[in-house]
Chain A
């Protein structure tokens, strides 16, 4: 007989939490009920450590149709069209079983989007891996990328952008954050609400098995040396099944046959039934003997907590029940009525005539403990040794950065994703932001993901501000007006005061940046316990930004267009290498402070950029971020060509250290190219706007040339540098480099 402490440990509940359940329930919970509490009171489901910080983020705005608290956020794009979007993490499963972990991460976020009545039309992913010198990291990366590819490609939703970054701390726990956006009719948004007592509860989709048991609690605890034994807690994805579920649900919605709908994700049936009833202010009663199964002898406990994929819970009126079942049948999707909506505020679970669980929703959903965990600035936060001088030649610096894992071409990743299906991808992966047109309108949506854990390890506040600012600028570079964000906050163990401090600082940064830039946060995801054997990842706040282009024909791309065009730098350069990729590569330390972001100046720059784009004056635009001016210029050369590459000659001011000036990563800067004949007009406009700017040089030839006065500091053909940039990742993955 297992003792109570063991049972609680197995369920990841503290003694205090257990006592709270016993006291408020008026009796000890049975095992099924304990399982339900354990899932619903897990960090993953109830945000008990993060709630008090998340509640400080701005959530309202004139375009917000649905903010936090639903399956996804919804914003108004005008003309009766709404954009539904959200991001989710699948870090823990992706470590244990990279392919399935990542695949089901895609499946889960897709369900969150079509659940709201939207047809998913774009996926982006932010991936963080360890050092590619380790075979295990290469195995994880291959698995994760092919898992995303497998699921997204098959279901037919394009994966259009994101980021792939590397640092040692992600060796034992990769980050797999997947964002999805979909388009819906503004007045056709569906909610995860069980309304109307007497309505029928329908289970649809794949049968229930034992896979994914305790997924939510797994994602709410740290890993140890036995983690790989948890493989059975990772679900198995079937994108073909999901496509049928998606197409049938979208048909039901279009025909107006559904009252409420939610996917069965983390904590499966337990979570979907209780959340839907709680949101509806009703109650719910289900009979597990009706649930379709694919394994023999499933216990009620297993059925309630299974995380088998591709399952949905629907609430429909009794009149529509048969019609709904008929539609599912046409698509070959299993669907059965498993219960009804009640009015008694209780989750009641029967198995045939036997009652197996009965829990008041007010307790289960409403009284989950919320913690104000202690925070403490870690002593290591003020890392010794500010970056003073980085000793490297310009040539070595350029080649090192072009071939660094973080900055090299990510073609190996994104060519495995179908980024063109849907025939909406105007700007695809590898750009500042992806741009997708909305068919039948002149509009397009710009989407991007940004964040940098290595910088957040130095200063989580400024790294979070920078992530918002950079994604804001990325969207503006395409000509899109930023509208809202979603975020995925990846952190270590919140029970450690240092981690909680990082979290508090990062959310404070998000709040300040979003308030000033007037960006509502429409939802997101928190992933704690990203640690193995006591070692935490870098704090890694990731921002997913969405923006709107009113006229897709005015889209601005990052690649240089034409010889003779003039290259301008907009914004002010602070030539310090603190926080930079170059400092990290050369000295092994990025220093102890990050360049702060002047959000007012940032906003001004963005407005100027949008105005120049609207007036059709930009031949190209690309923001300066990792790798500074040098990498921004090179990338505009690299992505311009389809077999041949334009060169560029740039001048470094005579009074600066060329390496520091070219590689500093001070924020709020953009490199644009403009036609010769427009230069004077643009300069006058920039002066009137009091926006600092520099003429860097001119496009032409086939080489990347850096000059200072009349002396040449560097020259190499763009093709030579492109080859290093384009081949690096494949070499590293083959284990050939070094």
Chain B
């Protein structure tokens, strides 16, 4: 069956077009959903793309978390639908309380845009099933607030429940302080919820989906989602 992705666009979202182009390159159908919509029916996966929703005024993602689309997003999550928040989208998911923790400004107090390496800690999520555990992916980050914070108990619970999906590492896959670009706790670059159907990550897979631009590792994420969704649907049908 064909997989349909919904891409939620807030005023100030700016990675919407890039995300759609990357999905198209992976052969996935996607549609934009304006933030004032109140339904998300018919989408197997919903993407909250990167950008500066509502200018990121007040706090990153804070205003977007109260958009008219949000109740529909919660219903989608509760029904087991997949959601991936990239960069600003991750920040929105944190503000919604769907994922635990919070974002602080980068340790350097500067915006950082560069390619980084991330280690796949969990390959048994719908978002990383085409990766192998311990695989190193090369993707760009581009953010001011990516310094992930969570208290000790929260971190322990994330680790115990295998919710830490991606960690910043060096080219060899070692998660060192030097390979942590923004000061994130436990080098965390991406986490999922306990039900494993919501995924937030700071790196931009849509910017690593074309060899001409330096990496195709991001495609693994989009293709994992597409495959897991069609697999699931086939399972349900059978």
Contact = CB atoms under 8 A, between A and B. Distances in A.
Interface in B60-112: 110-112
A474 interface: no
B172 to A, nearest CB: 9
Contacts of A350: none
A154 interface: yes
Contacts of A553: 212
Contacts of A480: none
B22 interface: yes
Interface string A613-643: 0000000000000000000000000000011
B12 A423 contact: no
Contacts of B114: 415
Contact of B111 (A153, A332, A422, A437): A153
A710 interface: no
Contact of B14 (A243, A439, A643): A243
A146 B105 CA distance: 14
Contacts of B140: 420
Contacts of B144: 153
B167 interface: no
Given A426-B213, A643-B171, A154 B55 contact: yes
A425 interface: yes
A426 B210 CA distance: 10
Given A415-B114, A420-B140, A552-B212, A243 B18 contact: no
B216 interface: no
A423 B209 CA distance: 9
B51 A149 contact: no
B15 A146 contact: no
Nearest to A330: B34
B113 A420 contact: yes
A104 to B, nearest CB: 16
Interface in A209-261: 238-241, 243-244
A642 B55 contact: no
* Tier of interface size on chain B: 20 to 34
Nearest to A424: B213
B212 A437 contact: yes
Contacts of A153: 52, 111, 113, 142, 144
A590 interface: no
Contacts of A369: none
A338 to B, nearest CB: 25
Given A415-B113, A422-B18, A642-B171, A240 B57 contact: yes
B14 A420 contact: no
Given A426-B212, A643-B171, A416 B112 contact: yes
Nearest to B53: A240
A566 B154 CA distance: 55
A419 B54 CA distance: 21
Interface string B9-45: 0011011011001100000000000000000000000
A156 interface: yes
B86 to A, nearest CB: 12
A402 interface: no
A336 B112 CA distance: 39
B213 A425 contact: yes
A331 interface: yes
A25 B52 CA distance: 50
The prevalent SS among residues of B at the interface is: mixed
Contacts of B57: 240
B170 interface: yes
Interface residues of A, number: 32
Contact of A149 (B18, B111, B171, B209): B111
Nearest to B172: A643
Contacts of B12: 154, 240, 243-244
Interface string B114-152: 110000000000000000000000001010100000000
B219 interface: no
A418 B142 contact: yes
A419 B214 CA distance: 13
Contacts of B21: 423, 439
A420 B11 contact: no
A420 B111 contact: no
Contacts of B111: 146, 149, 153, 415-418
Interface in A394-447: 414-423, 425-426, 437, 439
Interface in B156-214: 170-171, 204, 206-207, 209-210, 212-213
Contact of B113 (A239, A419, A422): A419
Contact of A423 (B112, B113, B213): B213
A551 B218 CA distance: 24
A138 to B, nearest CB: 14
A155 interface: yes
Contacts of B52: 153-154, 156, 239-240
Contacts of B17: 422
A137 to B, nearest CB: 18
Contact of A244 (B11, B210, B213): B11
Nearest to B212: A426
B14 A421 contact: yes
B63 to A, nearest CB: 10
Contacts of A423: 18, 21-22, 206-207, 209-210, 213
Contacts of B206: 423
| Most B C-beta atoms less than 10 A away, residue of A240, A416, A421 | A421
B113 A416 contact: yes
Contacts of A149: 110-111
Nearest to B18: A423
B14 A155 contact: yes
A244 B15 CA distance: 15
A420 B139 CA distance: 11
Contact of A642 (B54, B56, B113, B115): B115
Contacts of A240: 11-12, 52, 54-57
B15 A421 contact: yes
Contacts of A146: 110-111
B185 to A, nearest CB: 22
Contacts of A426: 212-213
Contact of B51 (A156, A417, A422): A156
A351 B34 CA distance: 39
8 smallest A-B Cβ distances: which pairs? A156-B14, A240-B55, A423-B18, A154-B52, A416-B111, A418-B142, A418-B113, A149-B111
25 contacts: A146-B110, A149-B111, A153-B52, A153-B111, A154-B12, A154-B52, A156-B14, A156-B15, A239-B55, A240-B55, A243-B14, A415-B111, A416-B110, A416-B111, A416-B112, A417-B111, A417-B113, A421-B18, A421-B142, A423-B209, A423-B213, A439-B21, A642-B115, A643-B170, A643-B171
Interface of A: 146, 149, 153-156, 238-241, 243-244, 331-332, 414-423, 425-426, 437, 439, 552-553, 642-643
Given A240-B56, A423-B213, 13 more contacts: A146-B110, A154-B55, A155-B14, A238-B55, A239-B55, A241-B55, A243-B11, A415-B110, A421-B18, A423-B21, A426-B213, A439-B21, A552-B212
